[in-house]
Amino acid sequence: MIAHLFKLIWNKKKTHSLLIVEIWASFMVLFGLATLIVVNVRNYREPLGFGYENVWAIGLKANQDTVGIADKLQRVQQRLRAYSEVESVSRMGSNVPFSSSQTNNGIEYKKRKILADFYATDENFAKTLDILVPLGHWYRNADSVGKYTPVVINQNAKEELFENENPMGKIIGDRFKVVGVIDNFKAKGEFMSNKPAVFELAKVDATWVDTMLIKVKPGTDAAFEAKVVKDIAAMVTGWSVEVDYLTDMRKNQHNLVLVPIIIALIVCSFLLINVALGLFGVLNLSIAKRRGEIGLRRALGATADGISIQFIGEIWVLATFALLIGLLFAAQFPLLNVFDVNAGTYVTAILIAMLIIYGIVTLCALFPSRQAANIQPATALHEE
């Protein structure tokens, strides 16, 4: 049976080669899209590592003011703590969670070098964002003793720098002392991979640490926001004050990920529809040209199910040829580690793409194959 199918396909190799190319192209597009989706789904299933509900980011810019910036920032922070609506206040750099700003740098421990995201924050950062510290503690101002700056690292940085070694009290980068380890910290949202992160205690007089994170009580409305902006503007005349809700910033980050995926899904759907229509048309044309052959097979005792299986088998063989070619290309991605994605992700994407291709070709072949099975041998031979 299989040898017969190969022979039938070979007899129409020009037409079938075009179908193979179409199916191969569809597989590669599906493989790319499936990889993108699998990566983001796996990232989304990992914990974010911090809380963002009822947290506001207040960005302060001194503009032309150059006098006493550090003192003014401290006064603003103290004023924010005085509000009854505010549960916690933290000061950090501009790379707040869900923002477009990012700061990274290389760091080393015993010749192990990694590129990590750096965050300059104060001792209230973990409290404001509900960050748990399972190993050690979040740094305090009292930890800043001597020439070393206390830092907290995430689990990913711990594994890459220390492997199985206990990181507590270790010196990294010649000037940082590890005092705590947190689990995940995906600053750009759930769809971000858990990258190495290092949190350092910012100096009180650091003028560039000019963003205030405040955690407000549930139900705090825009009226309080307007009051805060007015009070701060009166305290630091000429400064720009901008308030962002972390919940809104999170949605924006999600849109940056989801919009390209949705566009890719639409484009891929149109491609697959065109391929499906092409397969359907070719199979219908094939039946019209092979009515005599089908009638002869029916006259020789072939059953309707046997005829139907033959046509489905032909398209499956074509799809298998195309997928084998596609697998040669797809296998290069995990072997060469093209996008620094886990090999298991590529394997999952390949399986998804193959299942979709086989599903499409089977659906396209069902109706034409049933048409072929219903051809009566006497009618077909008479027409021939």
**Best CA proximity match to 167, nearest among 122, 109, 126, 113:** 109
| pLDDT of res. 206 | 84
| pLDDT of res. 208 | 86
> How high is the mean pLDDT in each 10-residue block of the chain (384 residues)?
50 65 88 92 92 94 84 92 94 92 90 92 94 94 86 94 91 91 94 92 87 93 91 89 94 92 90 83 69 59 65 80 90 82 89 92 76 56 50
d(CA 72, CA 69): 5
| pLDDT of res. 362 | 85
- Which amino acid belongs to residue 76? V
Q: Which residue has the tokens 């489905």?
A: 312
d(CA 157, CA 183): 10
Q: Which residue has the tokens 């069902």?
A: 366
| pLDDT of res. 15 | 59
pTM reported for the whole predicted model: 0.81
| pLDDT of res. 380 | 47
